[in-house]
């Protein structure tokens, strides 16, 4: 993803940074194409203004980095090396005024180690720059999210076959997470959620041993990682029969989901998406039961910038990908959430998820 490295180099000049050190493995992947979990070992991309970028990896990752990285200069360190001394050697001839780091990722402990070896006058946070770059997805990134969405929908389709007499929420979670790997995903992008009956009234409930009953609403919220990118979908079903009050709740949430998607246009604000969905729910009298924002950015992280809450006046741009997931949660009765992944194009919103949304009644 060479474009990302170029944009970062431009941003670095714009912000007056002499050098920057990227250590979040996701950002190293984003900038070089090399994906790795270094655990506690040091992994970093060093960019010094006017020089070629340098990727520093643990020795055991050397070969994999050579194969995958678009940055050709790779320096390896063994477990007995002090990687910060290696950095010092690299930076020897550089007069380091301001060093850019990711403040949310670079720990205080690491900063102390770095400061011991490399005298840094000033540090600057490159998190916001990376965050805004990541928010505008390239077609290649959108393809990956779409692929992750297709895989999770296949998992949901096959998972529904396991909704049978006597099955519990946690057993369905186990089936779904097994299916994720079977269909070719790397794994879940967050803890899979299956909630039934009154538990569906808990927006962040934890699946347990409750057995699915006729008359339940059954909520699935799941996502997978594939190719380094996440999907995130929620669908709610009725079991055997649908309570009439819950049907009203369901159709209200569906209308809110569609209103939120329709408002996802370039040039509108993120807040307008939340407000469009919320107005539908408020008009139906369920306002107090929709107690979370309408969605969140989606990409290498399941939750990333932007946050789609009603007061976010940042502008929607072409290339943004985010979720639209209104819900209504009525204590004692149950809840409904319907979540789609939305890509903003020059022509307007396109959903990357396509699982049917009309209320479906499952037979045990």
Distance CA 287, CA 280 (A): 9
In whole angstroms, the minimum distance from the beta carbon of 40 to Mn ion comes to 30
| 156 contacts 180 by C-beta, under 8 angstroms | no
Identified binder of Mn ion from the candidate list 232, 258, 340, 341, rule CB under 5 A:
232
Q: Are 57 and 13 in contact (CB under 8 A)?
A: no
Q: By C-alpha distance, which of 233, 305, 30 is closest to 141? A: 30
The residues, ordered by sequence, that sit 6+ positions from 282 with a Cβ below 8 Å of its Cβ are none
153 contacts Mn ion (rule: CB under 5 A) = no
CB of 356 to Mn ion, least distance (A): 17
Q: Which of 141, 169, 175, 221 binds Mn ion (CB under 5 A)?
A: 221
Q: Give the number of other Cβ atoms within 10 Å of residue 240's Cβ.
A: 13
Closest to Mn ion by CB, 196 vs 234, is 234
Looking at beta carbons only, is 76 or 307 nearer to Mn ion?
Answer: 307
Task: Report which of 91, 82, 79, 2 is spatially closest to residue 38, judged by C-alpha positions.
Answer: 79
Pairing of strands 233-239, 361-362: parallel
Name the segment binding Mn ion (CB under 5 A); options: 85-93, 133-141, 218-226, 251-259.
218-226
| Greatest distance between any 2 Cα atoms in the chain | 74
Q: From the CB of 316, what's the least distance to Mn ion, in Å?
A: 17
- 23 touches Mn ion (CB under 5 A): no
- Residue closer to Mn ion, measured from CB, 257 or 323: 323
46's tokens: 């060093």
Q: Nearest distance from residue 296's CB to Mn ion, in Å?
A: 6
- What x-and-dash track marks residues 322-361 binding Mn ion by CB under 5 A? -x---------------x----------------------
Which residues of the chain form contacts with Mn ion (CB under 5 A)?
221, 232, 234, 323, 339
């Amino acid at each position: 993803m060479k474009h990302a490295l170029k944009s970062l180099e431009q941003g670095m000049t714009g912000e007056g940074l002499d050098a920057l050190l990227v250590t979040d493995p996701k950002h190293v992947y984003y900038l070089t194409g090399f994906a790795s979990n270094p655990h506690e070992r040091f992994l970093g991309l060093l960019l010094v203004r006017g020089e070629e970028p340098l990727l520093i990896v643990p020795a055991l990752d050397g070969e994999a980095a050579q194969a995958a990285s678009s940055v050709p200069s790779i320096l390896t360190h063994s477990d007995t090396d002090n990687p910060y001394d290696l950095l010092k050697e690299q930076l020897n001839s550089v007069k380091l005024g301001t060093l850019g780091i990711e403040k949310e990722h670079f720990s205080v402990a690491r900063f102390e180690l770095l400061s011991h070896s490399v005298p840094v006058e000033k540090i600057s946070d490159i998190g916001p720059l990376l965050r805004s770059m990541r928010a505008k997805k390239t077609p290649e990134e959108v393809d990956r999210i779409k692929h992750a969405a297709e895989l999770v929908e296949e998992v949901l389709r096959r998972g529904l076959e396991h909704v049978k007499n006597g099955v519990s929420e946690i057993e369905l979670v186990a089936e779904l997470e097994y299916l994720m790997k079977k269909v070719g995903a790397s794994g879940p992008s967050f803890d899979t959620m299956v909630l039934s009956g009154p538990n569906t009234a808990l927006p962040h409930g934890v699946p347990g041993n409750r057995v699915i009953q006729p008359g339940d609403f059954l909520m699935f919220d799941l996502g997978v990682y594939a190719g380094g990118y996440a999907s995130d979908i929620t669908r709610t079903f009725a079991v055997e029969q649908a309570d009439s009050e819950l049907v009203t709740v369901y159709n209200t949430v569906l209308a809110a989901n569609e209103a939120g998607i329709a408002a996802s246009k370039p040039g509108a604000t993120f807040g307008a998406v939340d407000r469009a969905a919320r107005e539908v729910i408020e008009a139906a009298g369920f306002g107090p039961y929709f107690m979370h924002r309408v969605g969140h950015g989606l990409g290498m992280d399941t939750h990333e910038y932007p946050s789609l809450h009603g007061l976010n006046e940042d502008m929607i741009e072409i290339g943004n990908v985010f979720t639209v997931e209104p819900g209504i949660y009525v204590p004692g009765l149950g809840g409904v959430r319907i979540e789609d992944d939305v890509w903003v194009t020059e022509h307007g919103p396109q959903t990357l998820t396509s699982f049917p949304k009309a209320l479906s009644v499952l037979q045990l």
